[in-house]
Structure 1
Amino acid sequence: MKVILKSKITCPNCGHQKVEEMPTDACQFFYKCENCKTVLKPKQGDCCVFCSYGSEKCPPIQRDKGCC
C-alpha cells in the first residue's frame, strides 16, 4: 500500500486550507493556522491534527500500525 505523505489541512475556525507534508515517524499534535492563527489540536479519539483536520490520515494510521 502506498502511503500518502501530503494532506490538505483545513482550519475549522476560518476554513483556510493548506497542503502540508506529514511527518512519517511522529504525530503532530499542534498546528497553527497561518490565516487566523488558531492553534489546532487533535479531536478526542484522534492521534494528530492530520487525522482530525486533514484530507489524509497520518502515515502510521495509513499503514494500520496505530499512531504514537
Structure 2
Amino acid sequence: MEIILESTITCPHCGHQKEETMPTDACQYFYECENCHQLLKPKAGDCCVYCSYGSVKCPPVQNDPNKGCC
C-alpha cells in the first residue's frame, strides 16, 4: 500500500484550504491557519491535525488504521 504524503487541511473556522506535506516521523499536533491565524488542534480521539482536518489521514494511520498513530 502506497502512503500518501500530501493532504489538504481545511480550517474549521474560516474554510481556508491549503495543501501540505505531512511529516513521516512525527505527529503534527498544532497547525496555524495562514488565513485567520487560528491555532488548530486535533479533535478528541484523533492523533494529529491531519486526521482531524486533512483530506488524507496521517502516514502512521494510513499504514495501519487499527494501530492508531504515534
Q: Which range, TM-score by smaller chain?
A: over 0.9
Q: Distance in 1 between matches of 2:25 and 2:56?
A: 16
Q: Distance in 1 between matches of 2:69 and 2:12?
A: 23
Q: CA deviation at 1:66?
A: 2.4
Aligned residues: 68
Which ranges of structure 2 fall in alignment gaps of 5 or more residues?
Answer: none
Q: Which amino acid aligns with 2:17?
A: Q
Q: Percent identity?
A: 75
Instruction: Write the deviation string for residues 2-60 of structure 1: whole angstroms up to 9, x where unpaired.
Output: 00000000000000000000000110000000000000000000000000000000000
Partner residue in 1 for 2:41: 41
| TM-score, reference length from structure 2 | 0.95
Partner residue in 2 for 1:63: 63
Which ranges of structure 1 fall in alignment gaps of 5 or more residues?
Answer: none
